């Protein structure tokens, strides 16, 4: 049932709890702190109640100490992917050119740009909504976002110059997409999740193309799911 306006903070908690939100108090606090009007709060509660990921409802996600702007329909950056950023910074602390392929919201590129003062940062994604978010998230650091299929999106002048190449690609095997939580299945694009029959379709293409774009000594960092052996 929609939240009637006006309402008390405890009514927000109750509405979220009734919708099955396990962390109703925490979510209510974030919604109340983010919404600018009671109507906006009610709208956020309604969207959360029908299952949208909290970060898409809020319009932002926390990632590596940054508040990353997020649109509905764009992959929610996972906190566990902060590890990839830390690994990239450890491997190439002085990198001057960074590319984040399959960038989604641009969270990885923004985190790297924030940490690598003055680095030239490019992010790319095939999805226009993701590129819009990445553009907003990178602009504060002078970074750029491009739209297109993997390396096709990048300016040719980056060839052979990339010190850090990150790529959190879609890696869920097609047959396992149905096993993902509803929040992902129903509210994140299939193209952000489905990695083909063995989950490696996109990653194979990223790995095959990397040597042409990396600088000597540059590195490619990625993420992959590992299935326990039966």
Ligand X SMILES: C[S@@+](CC[C@H](N)C(=O)[O-])C[C@H]1O[C@@H](n2cnc3c(N)ncnc32)[C@H](O)[C@@H]1O
Where does this chain bind ligand X (CB under 6 A)?
A: 75, 77, 81, 102-105, 107-108, 125-127, 130, 149-150, 168-170, 189, 191-192, 202
Minimum CB separation from ligand X for residue 69, in Å?
12
Minimum CB separation from ligand X for residue 221, in Å?
11
The residue (of 145 and 169) whose beta carbon lies closer to ligand X is 169
The residue (of 24 and 111) whose beta carbon lies closer to ligand X is 111
Minimum CB separation from ligand X for residue 213, in Å?
14
The residue (of 13 and 123) whose beta carbon lies closer to ligand X is 123
The residue (of 27 and 55) whose beta carbon lies closer to ligand X is 55
Minimum CB separation from ligand X for residue 211, in Å?
18
Written in H, E and C, the secondary structure of the chain is: CCCCCCCCHHHHHHHHHHCCCCCHHHHHHHHHHHCCCHHHHHHHHHHHHCCCCHHHHHCEEEECCEEEECCCCCCCCCHHHHHHHHHHHHHCCCCCEEEEECCCCCHHHHHHHHHCCCCEEEEEECCHHHHHHHHHHHHCCCCEEEECCHHHHCCHHHCCCEEEEEECCCCECHHHHHHCCHHHHHHCCHHHCECCCCCCHHHHHHHHHHHHHEEEEEEEEECCCCCCCC
């Amino acid at each position: 049932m929609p939240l009637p306006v006006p309402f008390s903070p405890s009514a927000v908690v109750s509405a979220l709890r009734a919708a099955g939100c396990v962390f109703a108090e925490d979510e209510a606090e974030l919604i109340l702190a983010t919404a600018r009007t009671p109507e906006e709060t009610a709208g956020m509660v309604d969207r959360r109640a029908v299952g949208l990921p909290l970060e898409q409802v809020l319009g932002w996600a926390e990632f590596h100490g940054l508040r990353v702007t997020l649109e509905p329909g764009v992959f929610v950056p996972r906190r566990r992917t902060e590890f990839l950023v830390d690994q990239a910074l450890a491997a190439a602390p002085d990198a001057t050119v960074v590319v984040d392929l399959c960038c989604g919201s641009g969270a990885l590129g923004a985190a790297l740009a924030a940490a690598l003062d003055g680095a030239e940062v490019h992010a790319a994604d095939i999805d226009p909504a993701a590129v819009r978010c990445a553009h907003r998230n990178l602009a504060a650091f002078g970074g750029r976002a491009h739209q297109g299929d993997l390396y096709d999106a990048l300016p040719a002048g980056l060839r052979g110059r990339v010190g850090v190449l990150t790529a959190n690609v879609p890696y869920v095997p097609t047959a396992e997409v149905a096993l993902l939580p509803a929040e992902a299945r129903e509210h994140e694009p299939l193209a952000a999740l489905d990695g083909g029959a063995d989950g490696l379709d996109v990653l194979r293409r990223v790995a095959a193309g990397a040597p042409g774009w990396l600088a000597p000594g540059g590195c490619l960092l990625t993420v992959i799911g590992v299935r326990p052996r039966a």
